[in-house]
Amino acid sequence: MNTIVCISQPTRGGNEAVAKRLKAAHIE
């Protein structure tokens, strides 16, 4: 569930990269 929060609120620059990786993992 935290993944949604990270993607919704990319407050930290690192979170953006993490969100992208999480999205890719979900797609795969």
Cβ atoms of 16 and 10 within 8 Å: the answer is yes
How far is CA 14 from its chain centroid?
9
> Taking a C-beta distance cutoff of 8 angstroms, is the pair 3, 18 a contact?
no
Q: Are 15 and 6 in contact, with CB atoms under 8 Å apart?
A: yes
| Residue 12, both tokens | 């930290």
| pLDDT reported for residue 23 | 80
State the pTM of this model: 0.36
pLDDT digits 0-9 by tens, 1-28: 455 555 555 556 667 777 788 787 766 6
